[in-house]
A and B are shown apart, each in its own frame.
Chain A
Amino acid sequence: MIPFDFEYDRPGTVGEALTVFRQLDAEQKNPMFFGGGTEIISMARMGNVKTGAVVDLKAIPECRVFEYDKDRLLIGSALTLSDLVEAKRFPLLDHTAGRVADHTMQCKITFGGNLASTIIYRETVLPLLLADAVVTVATQGGLRDYKITQIFRERLQLPRGEFIVRASIEKRWLSAPYIHVKKTKNEKVDYPLLTVACLKADDKIRMAFSGLLPYPFRDLQWENLMNDKSLSFPERAEQISALAAPHLLNNLDGSAEFRKFVLNNTLIKVLQTLKGV
């Protein structure tokens, strides 16, 4: 039960969504775009979110695409995580999405909603960071394409009133060797101690993390170390862990020290599994 009122709008087109959001903003309703809504609803119940209107993006056809366009796979922001998992088109993304919350929640959480989440993990961005995704954003000036790194730094950085319509990935990434490891405190369905997603291409490992810091990230310095052939696997892991150590999260899921230990172990396993570089 949400202890306050808000208005519900479900636009059928990108244009309607932008317009209605602008109107609601003008009415000082502090509107919010609404994907799966799981986070807004649960936080609203606890009084941690207050809004006068939600704009549900799930009925916009452009946000529901899931198709190939020439050499790219287009992934609509209103697809549920379960849609991604069931379709099995981009294995790394499927695996990542399949480990966010639990299965029934995956039937409700949307891809775009997870990217825009205020909860710090936002794990579905990891494959996008690795595969140089292009993100199409609905702006007042029309649809605009950005590199993922232009609009996602720690969290989604979009001007108010804009929203993600879809992401697209070059086909060559879809079949690249990959690995996804999620480590939790003790239970499969939980927030991560760490989640690491890796893609291997041109004999190089790309890797991105969630759960280590208060935001998901890809760090090129870490990647260089990971690919440094002059170092043994344990040396690479140790140097990266040492770099990470001062910044690691320390919370109920695990201490910073334990995260460091898990990171070190996990990196070695990743290197062994991907047969190094």
Chain B
Amino acid sequence: MPKAGIGTTVIRKEAWDKVTGNAKYTADENPAGVLTARMVTSTFAHAKIKKIDYSQALLQKGVKAVITGEDYPVLSGGLVADRPPLANGKVRYYGEPVALVVADSEFDAANAVTFVKVEYEPLPVINSLSQALASGAPLVHEHQETYKHISKDLYPQPGTNICDIKKIRKGDVNQAFSNCDSIVEAHYSLPQSDHIAMETRAARARISPDGTVFVKSASQAPFGIKKELSSVFNLEQGKVVVEVPFVGGGFGGKAATQLELLAYMASKAVCGREVGIRNSREQDITSSPCKLGLDATLKLGATKDGMIKAAQMTYLVDAGAYADMGPRLSKAMAVDCTGPYNIENVSCDAVCVYTNHPYATSFRGFGHASYTFCVERTLDKLAKKLQMDPLELRKKNGLAPGNLTPTQVPLTASSLGSLGPCIEKLKPLINWEEGERIELGNHKIRAKGISCFWKTSDSSPDAVSGIILTFNNDGSLNVNCGCVECGPSMKTTVAQLLSEKLKMDISRVHVNMDVNTKCSPTHWKTVASMTTFMQGRAAMRAAEDVCRQLVSLAAVVLRCPPEDLEVGGERVYVRHEPSNFIHFKDLVHGYQYQNGNAVEGQIIGRGSFIMGDLNLLDKETGKGKAGPWWTVGAQGVEVEYDTEEYTYRLIKAATVIDAGKVLNPKMCEALVKGGMCMGLGLGTRENFSYSGKGEVLDTSLRTYKVMHFGETPQYLVDFVETPLENSPYGARGLAEHGIIGIPAALANALSVASGVELDELPLVPETIWRIKTGGRA
């Protein structure tokens, strides 16, 4: 039998490239003659640009051009066109690109940027959500009404800092609350933070004499770049070619288009010569988009036996200076606002707000890690008030087939998955029965916290994917797919699915690692844990397409009816007489008879997929179908807390997730663990701090801390498999999900350990100390 397929651990295809330094990323190739662009960035969070004097910069050695926002008065943005690629007239966040220097080398460009003098007139800074929403607040965008909407379901409030509101109205909350025995209400505040992909964003562009624009970029969305470049600069789509090699981590941060626009503008300024731009780490943190901040108020009401009857919630999203994905993120929060619980009466406002902070884009979990923190913390408070086991409360209220989601989508076992079994499996994994809080003596307490999550994708209904299959003379398969390899092993997953479907050895399935938008079929974006599903669906169709062609040709050659034929092991064979077969290699480039005649051409398979049956949400009630299906799971964190020092050690982090079908066991485990690790980062140390003037203070990895080796707990991962009927082999997406409930589980554990409610992040010892003692030493 052929090796591999699904359900067994497969080593990723590019493994050896990645352990030898052979894997090439965007900034790894530096052909001679490529110019370098460097950004001049804003030193104010909100200010009028009075003057940009770059006359001295132009005189510096090697400088070819300096461009400013005035040279390109265009607006960009995936949902609403509100962002000039270079600030024009005013700056709206600290670190915003205001000018671009193009020079012979990085050295020359870096030198020349110091000679660009920008004169600012400071404006009042919106440094928090409450400042943004105060009446009479200064406006980040004065003329929202003039902005072009790319997305149809945006409801901005011109004259305010509100960029979008999404409402969920289901049932009758007021009535329901009045019937509740127990009501809890709480407020939460979560900071903006950053993706910190290890590869900083980078892009290169050139324009050929016929006007074709070639872009190379570290991106999760090559086809998105093509679309946005052509729309912002009015270019013919066929004349924009985007290439993406290996990507050094994305986590959502590389789905936004930014440096690509700048690279194009820079190239245009030097008559189409190739120009490269790469963020320093400091720029990647401050100038490029980040993770949203959130202020939330939640109210949950339950009967005394612990049935949650009503939920009222307000999510205020700090989207920063520009919308980017902000409105989609607040929508995602609204769509799944209750967490994976059946609550019949829901009222939720998810408000996307402009501030003078760096602008937010998609980040692993797409808003779910943020609102889940609020829901799961509130659930623990409710359990406490009801004197109920927090795990039982969750089990009791968990969504089940037949229930309606907040946007009133009826759930099925297939579309939802099974939360109950995830909770059941989590229990022994974290030894829940021994108790939430155990005094160890010597000022130490061991405590556990849990959380549950669900997540659907808020993809566009018209999101498409595609696969093209060709063969080599020896019968091996070539796969051409448009997903990007940014870490989660997507390319190998596609190969694995095809190897299973065609029953062929995975080593004989060759996948393109790079993406080129001119050659590869469009794949929406490599985001939202949707790639296995979307590319998988396309792959299944493509495989069926080649099988049909192989069988039809083989039927002629083997002189038997096509329905008697099977495909496997790179052969087409007669089912009841397997010794009668023909090799792929004798079919895939046409079949040649003894006398030399040849028939049929090469076999080319195609498969495509469109998201399809999603729709826009109703403006007033939110009713509608935003995503195709959910992934659910249960998580736990165990800590050892020191009551004297307010410090703690991470002991365990656990996730049980409904994978639908585990395709590549060790890889799935690694993805979930990686997500948990990032979730612990959010929980324990990651955040942006701002000065009073809205300057980001943690601009390097010296001060912006992420998890490091040796600080991590023991990770435990287990799976439940409830097939997703319309997905290849039942598999659900799971690449992001490890992160979602971890900050909440951590805060629940530390709240239990410390005896105070910890409703903010990150939970550094000083924060716990401040909340516990009031901050007086």
Residues in A lying within 8 Å of B, measured CB to CB: 1, 3-4, 46-47, 185-190, 241, 245, 252, 254-255, 257-258, 260-262, 264-265
Q: A241-B777, A252-B703, A258-B770 are in contact. Are A47 and B114 (CB under 8 A)?
A: yes
Asked if B777 and A264 sit within 8 Å, CB to CB, the answer is yes
Q: A3-B111, A189-B708 are in contact. Are A257 and B685 (CB under 8 A)?
A: no
For B645, the chain A residues whose CB sits under 8 A away are: 262, 265
* Segment of B380-388, B667-675, B743-751, B761-769 engaged in the interface with chain A: B761-769
- Check if B279 is an interface residue, CB within 8 A of chain A: no
A–B pairs, 19, beta carbons within 8 Å:
A1-B106, A1-B107, A3-B114, A46-B282, A185-B685, A186-B765, A188-B710, A241-B777, A252-B689, A252-B703, A255-B766, A257-B775, A257-B776, A257-B777, A258-B766, A261-B769, A262-B645, A265-B644, A265-B645
Give the distance in Å from the alpha carbon of A241 to the alpha carbon of B776 in the complex.
Answer: 13
* Nearest-Cβ distance from residue B775 to partner chain A, whole angstroms: 6
Asked if A188 and B708 sit within 8 Å, CB to CB, the answer is yes
Q: A1-B110, A257-B776, A265-B644 are in contact. Are A187 and B711 (CB under 8 A)?
A: yes
* Nearest-Cβ distance from residue B116 to partner chain A, whole angstroms: 13
Asked if A3 and B766 sit within 8 Å, CB to CB, the answer is no
Give the distance in Å from the alpha carbon of A265 to the alpha carbon of B646 in the complex.
Answer: 11
- Check if B697 is an interface residue, CB within 8 A of chain A: yes
Quick one: which of B107, B684, B711, B775 contacts A188, CB cutoff 8 A?
Answer: B711
Ranked 6 nearest A-B pairs via Cβ: A3-B110, A261-B777, A260-B777, A258-B766, A186-B764, A3-B111
* Nearest-Cβ distance from residue A246 to partner chain B, whole angstroms: 12
Closest to B765 in A: A186
For A188, the chain B residues whose CB sits under 8 A away are: 708, 710-711
A187-B708, A261-B769 given; 11 more Cβ-contact pairs under 8 Å: A3-B110, A186-B685, A186-B764, A187-B711, A188-B710, A241-B777, A245-B777, A252-B689, A252-B697, A258-B769, A264-B777
Asked if A4 and B708 sit within 8 Å, CB to CB, the answer is no
Asked if B708 and A185 sit within 8 Å, CB to CB, the answer is no
Give the distance in Å from the alpha carbon of A262 to the alpha carbon of B764 in the complex.
Answer: 13
For B697, the chain A residues whose CB sits under 8 A away are: 252
Give the distance in Å from the alpha carbon of A189 to the alpha carbon of B701 in the complex.
Answer: 11
Give the distance in Å from the alpha carbon of A1 to the alpha carbon of B777 in the complex.
Answer: 44
Q: Which secondary structure dominates chain A's binding surface? A: loop
Q: Inter-chain contact count A-B, CB under 8 Å?
A: 55
* Nearest-Cβ distance from residue A17 to partner chain B, whole angstroms: 28
Closest to B111 in A: A3
What size tier do the contact residues of chain B reach?
20 to 34
Residues 255-283 of chain B, each 1 if its beta carbon lies under 8 Å from chain A, else 0: 00000000000000000000000000010
For B775, the chain A residues whose CB sits under 8 A away are: 255, 257-258
Asked if B705 and A190 sit within 8 Å, CB to CB, the answer is yes
Residues in B lying within 8 Å of A, measured CB to CB: 106-107, 110-111, 114, 282, 644-645, 684-685, 689, 697-698, 703, 705, 708, 710-711, 762, 764-766, 769-770, 773, 775-777
Give the distance in Å from the alpha carbon of A206 to the alpha carbon of B401 in the complex.
Answer: 69
Closest to B766 in A: A258
For A262, the chain B residues whose CB sits under 8 A away are: 645
Give the distance in Å from the alpha carbon of A254 to the alpha carbon of B282 in the complex.
Answer: 22
Asked if A258 and B777 sit within 8 Å, CB to CB, the answer is yes
Give the distance in Å from the alpha carbon of A3 to the alpha carbon of B63 in the complex.
Answer: 14
For B282, the chain A residues whose CB sits under 8 A away are: 46
For B114, the chain A residues whose CB sits under 8 A away are: 3, 47
For A252, the chain B residues whose CB sits under 8 A away are: 689, 697-698, 703
Give the distance in Å from the alpha carbon of A36 to the alpha carbon of B187 in the complex.
Answer: 49
Give the distance in Å from the alpha carbon of A255 to the alpha carbon of B689 in the complex.
Answer: 13
Give the distance in Å from the alpha carbon of A252 to the alpha carbon of B703 in the complex.
Answer: 8
Give the distance in Å from the alpha carbon of A190 to the alpha carbon of B765 in the complex.
Answer: 14
Give the distance in Å from the alpha carbon of A46 to the alpha carbon of B282 in the complex.
Answer: 10
Give the distance in Å from the alpha carbon of A4 to the alpha carbon of B111 in the complex.
Answer: 7
Report which residue of A1, A3, A188, A254 has the largest number of chain B beta carbons within 10 angstroms of its beta carbon: A3
Closest to A245 in B: B777
Q: A1-B110, A47-B114, A264-B777 are in contact. Are A187 and B644 (CB under 8 A)?
A: no
For A260, the chain B residues whose CB sits under 8 A away are: 777
Asked if B111 and A187 sit within 8 Å, CB to CB, the answer is no
* Nearest-Cβ distance from residue B37 to partner chain A, whole angstroms: 14
* Nearest-Cβ distance from residue B684 to partner chain A, whole angstroms: 6
Give the distance in Å from the alpha carbon of A258 to the alpha carbon of B767 in the complex.
Answer: 10
For A257, the chain B residues whose CB sits under 8 A away are: 775-777
* Nearest-Cβ distance from residue A215 to partner chain B, whole angstroms: 19
For B705, the chain A residues whose CB sits under 8 A away are: 185-187, 190
* Nearest-Cβ distance from residue A8 to partner chain B, whole angstroms: 16
Closest to B642 in A: A265
Give the distance in Å from the alpha carbon of A156 to the alpha carbon of B409 in the complex.
Answer: 69
* Nearest-Cβ distance from residue B761 to partner chain A, whole angstroms: 12
Give the distance in Å from the alpha carbon of A254 to the alpha carbon of B766 in the complex.
Answer: 7
For B762, the chain A residues whose CB sits under 8 A away are: 186
For A46, the chain B residues whose CB sits under 8 A away are: 282
Give the distance in Å from the alpha carbon of A241 to the alpha carbon of B777 in the complex.
Answer: 9
* Nearest-Cβ distance from residue B579 to partner chain A, whole angstroms: 61
Closest to B764 in A: A186
* Nearest-Cβ distance from residue A38 to partner chain B, whole angstroms: 11
For B770, the chain A residues whose CB sits under 8 A away are: 258
For A186, the chain B residues whose CB sits under 8 A away are: 684-685, 705, 762, 764-765
Closest to B645 in A: A265
Closest to A260 in B: B777
Report which residue of A189, A260, A261, A265 has the largest number of chain B beta carbons within 10 angstroms of its beta carbon: A261
Q: A4-B111, A252-B698 are in contact. Are A185 and B711 (CB under 8 A)?
A: no
Give the distance in Å from the alpha carbon of A181 to the alpha carbon of B773 in the complex.
Answer: 24
Report which residue of B106, B689, B764 has the largest number of chain A beta carbons within 10 angstroms of its beta carbon: B764
Report which residue of B689, B705, B710, B776 has the largest number of chain A beta carbons within 10 angstroms of its beta carbon: B705
* Nearest-Cβ distance from residue A263 to partner chain B, whole angstroms: 8
Give the distance in Å from the alpha carbon of A187 to the alpha carbon of B765 in the complex.
Answer: 10
Closest to A242 in B: B777
Closest to A3 in B: B110
For B711, the chain A residues whose CB sits under 8 A away are: 187-188
Give the distance in Å from the alpha carbon of A185 to the alpha carbon of B763 in the complex.
Answer: 10
For B766, the chain A residues whose CB sits under 8 A away are: 185, 254-255, 258
For A1, the chain B residues whose CB sits under 8 A away are: 106-107, 110
Give the distance in Å from the alpha carbon of A202 to the alpha carbon of B398 in the complex.
Answer: 67
Give the distance in Å from the alpha carbon of A265 to the alpha carbon of B643 in the complex.
Answer: 12
For A255, the chain B residues whose CB sits under 8 A away are: 766, 775
* Nearest-Cβ distance from residue A14 to partner chain B, whole angstroms: 33
Q: A258-B769, A264-B777 are in contact. Are A3 and B708 (CB under 8 A)?
A: no
* Nearest-Cβ distance from residue A244 to partner chain B, whole angstroms: 10
Closest to A254 in B: B766
* Nearest-Cβ distance from residue B682 to partner chain A, whole angstroms: 13
For A264, the chain B residues whose CB sits under 8 A away are: 777
